[in-house]
Structure 1
């Protein structure tokens, strides 16, 4: 068993209730038996698609991931998993980038929600890309798949398509038909992330529109309805129904679900303070069906509490890494855990090899203890955007170095000589999600500031994901960085 400690704090949340803290875009949820199962986009982080379970839609426990290694056909951009359950089997419809191709919709399945999952490969691969799949049975019980053609990626409209699918989920068996597209001013350049629910006489389609991601996001969400799955679809004249608030920005792309006779929508939004640095976080909001057959989101206060990790500590005492760690889809992770130490194999690339953990607030501190005596690689603590954008403080022998890598190039570097025979304590303090100060200590006390002026890491988050705090190992592949511990302490907002 690995060892890690999580201390939590609770927040009373109104209406838009935080339930999946940290970077959890495009959340999906389904009820299987008496338990709810959820997943979310991981993009270019592995393992792909977390599996989380809950009894109340608020308190979630991670139960592994759908893919611990890449499916053979895909290479990156693991987006929008839709977890579904039908006739005793679990299916996950997901989006990924096809090798030497574009974005495709694919499916994997399992006998039980915790897996293991068998990948069945891509179902739909249109020239400009196919994303955001959702399965739905029509009024006659026939199985269909709904998805978005990614026209906005080439400056075109974004039709939402439907096609009948065989029961094995291995092929489409009818011509595609368009349900609707972006045509109203509030929808701007796209509609996407369609999910559906059947209630009374109507099918209801929840969908997102406009710009999903980053500091300039404009995402909003609306609903359309139809008495037939094939339409005609009528968009609500009160759209958009979910818009930015003072606390949560750019809400969208989720899944409706029922619990105890009430209906809820699990979706994502950016926290107004931590923004893109902590990523799109999972929110829950109740909705009702109105007397005139539409959707209304409720603004009533909730008596439930969100669970936000305040302190996470890993002393590497197990046989495998904690499930909280992630790594790049472009790197082959190579590590060992021995006698309470992590031995992370190096890579001779600009970022080195790295592992990271989600951050949850705009202000946080990460600490690592490096066994300098046992390390042969340059060993560091870092704020990680991706393989080409990283800010790190690392130690190699007596040399302590701060490096800023931007778009794959060294933008800044500063070195100091620090005499230590055994270990070195590295600390990274982050404020406002982007202002980074590094400190170090040979004893674990009396930390010294390395950079008097904070480093501006505004450039770090990729457009579709958030910063990770983590560890790096740089050098020839046969070298290793040895870490005795890692901790992450968030400052509540």
Structure 2
């Protein structure tokens, strides 16, 4: 290839990359990125929120805010899975009682795969949670815990499935004063007689009534139709009557499939509802994000919601940073704990990544972060001299262990590849320049879901040309969570890769 053609291609890819990485934007989320089934509590003059983590470890991310609008992650509830659990870490729920913070959650039991409700406790809302085991095991699925108090009696409520031939049901039972076990027989709150799916209930008391808000429809995926409804009763145990419109929260011009939230008071005693929804730009690729709605009442004591707009949220931009142990940045990495066990350390050299795979994982180890937008640039720099030559290392867009897109280097080969069930496909390959001691890799994702790959040094980028055009990330999103960008490693247990930079950049970028 002559120098004029090479120069033309570099300029062409620069302009093309500049255009397709300009991000489309929906109305800003309250908590951006994949944060389903949020629970919220006010304590110590601020707010705390925890969301579903599904199959990502560590489990249940914790966020804090001083105003319900600006949130920052501070940690996770569990650094490792409680002994009784296997998978499906869903629907956490805060409860504060007699000086103790309770975090109820759903997970599949290791022995039989049945979804149960467990609980962890702490003196603090954001750390030091200790698992106390299973509280609810009922039917073939018990999820979506919510504790409500009537006078001096606590009640556990949850969604039950697999009760003989009955439909999905919201049920309740008396809860012991220590919050750790049920007392007495469960009773029915509401049956899904329409068989559309009901779940995610939460309660408030207003003018002598217990109002139960719940979500109906399909929660997840491109065909979701989630929405919020309400019923009320003079007693927690019912009977309940419908109140308000059929779609208290459902869809607007920016968001769809709204639901599964919990309430919190601000200092002025106003009630807010933290929920999740898919934005119409990112959809399943940014996942169910956190939204905030204010609860209002009509003169007939019927509820309605007003979504809170946060117009001053700045464009989220995760700048390039050095992967060294400065303590100034906490990336809060996550990984698919069912299929990989990463091992990583940071030092003044960078981040050293290795690890092992589990079960039938033929892909490798992915160390990932949540995306907050559909279009972004993902990049890293690898210290080749500090890394094992025969190990595969680079970048990944990870859906699960069977669906991914990667850009990596092994030996003297830079490779762009895709992973589909039982099939890893090489898309393009480039020879590693002989004089490279460090290698920069970059993947750009467009709003059209197309992505392109580049390698280079410093700010000099060379495109890796796919013979069949851009690769698409379409289809790599699991049904209940968004794909994750991150670092990738595949090698022997004695091997490792040394990364010196990593970034997810949402501002327009050049090639």
Q: TM-score, normalised by structure 1?
A: 0.91
Residue 246 of structure 1 and its aligned partner are, at CA, apart by 1.9
Indicate if the aligned counterparts of 2:261 and 2:276 stay in contact, CA closer than 8 A: yes
Residue among 493, 497, 503 paired with 1:481: 497
Residue aligning to 1:261: 269
Distance 2:470 2:499 in 1: 25
Residue aligning to 1:286: 294
Distance 1:258 1:211 in 2: 28
Distance 1:156 1:389, change over 3 A: farther
Residue aligning to 1:183: 193
Is 1:163 the counterpart of 2:173? The answer is yes
Distance 1:465 1:156, change over 3 A: farther
Distance 2:56 2:26 in 1: 31
Q: TM-score, normalised by structure 2?
A: 0.88
Deviates more, 1:454-463 or 1:332-341: 332-341
Residue aligning to 2:363: 351
Superimposed CA distance per residue, residues 23-81 of structure 1 (whole angstroms, 9 cap, x where no aligned partner) = 00011101113211111011111111111111211111222110011111112111111
Residue among 172, 184, 203 paired with 2:182: 172
Distance 1:156 1:413 in 2: 50
Distance 1:237 1:32, change over 3 A: closer
Residue aligning to 2:320: 313
Is 1:25 the counterpart of 2:36? The answer is yes
Residue 273 of structure 1 and its aligned partner are, at CA, apart by 0.9
Task: Return the index of the structure with the highest Cα Rg.
Answer: 2
Distance 1:408 1:310, change over 3 A: farther
Distance 2:368 2:38 in 1: 21
Indicate if the aligned counterparts of 1:346 and 1:478 stay in contact, CA closer than 8 A: no
Distance 2:431 2:310 in 1: 54
How many positions carry a matched residue from both structures?
A: 474
Is 1:115 the counterpart of 2:131? The answer is no
Residue among 53, 62, 81 paired with 1:42: 53
Is 1:252 the counterpart of 2:259? The answer is yes
Distance 1:303 1:189 in 2: 32
Indicate if the aligned counterparts of 2:53 and 2:60 stay in contact, CA closer than 8 A: yes
Indicate if the aligned counterparts of 2:382 and 2:440 stay in contact, CA closer than 8 A: yes
Residue 308 of structure 1 and its aligned partner are, at CA, apart by 5.2
Residue aligning to 2:237: 230
Indicate if the aligned counterparts of 1:158 and 1:191 stay in contact, CA closer than 8 A: yes
SS at match of 1:281: strand
Residue 323 of structure 1 and its aligned partner are, at CA, apart by 4.0
Residue 88 of structure 1 and its aligned partner are, at CA, apart by 1.4
SS at match of 2:317: strand
Distance 2:175 2:372 in 1: 39
Superimposed CA distance per residue, residues 111-153 of structure 1 (whole angstroms, 9 cap, x where no aligned partner) = 1112200101111123421100001112x2201100001349x
* 1:49-448 paired onto structure 2 within 5 Å: 49-101=60-112, 102-138=114-150, 140-151=151-162, 157-184=167-194, 188-236=195-243, 238-259=245-266, 260-298=268-306, 302=309, 305-306=312-313, 309-318=316-325, 322-330=330-338, 331-347=340-356, 349-376=361-388, 377-420=391-434, 421-432=436-447, 434-448=449-463
Unmatched 5+ residue regions in structure 1?
A: 1-8
Unmatched 5+ residue regions in structure 2?
A: 1-22
SS at match of 2:30: strand
SS at match of 2:284: helix
SS at match of 1:276: helix
Indicate if the aligned counterparts of 2:26 and 2:280 stay in contact, CA closer than 8 A: no
Indicate if the aligned counterparts of 2:75 and 2:332 stay in contact, CA closer than 8 A: no
Indicate if the aligned counterparts of 2:382 and 2:500 stay in contact, CA closer than 8 A: yes
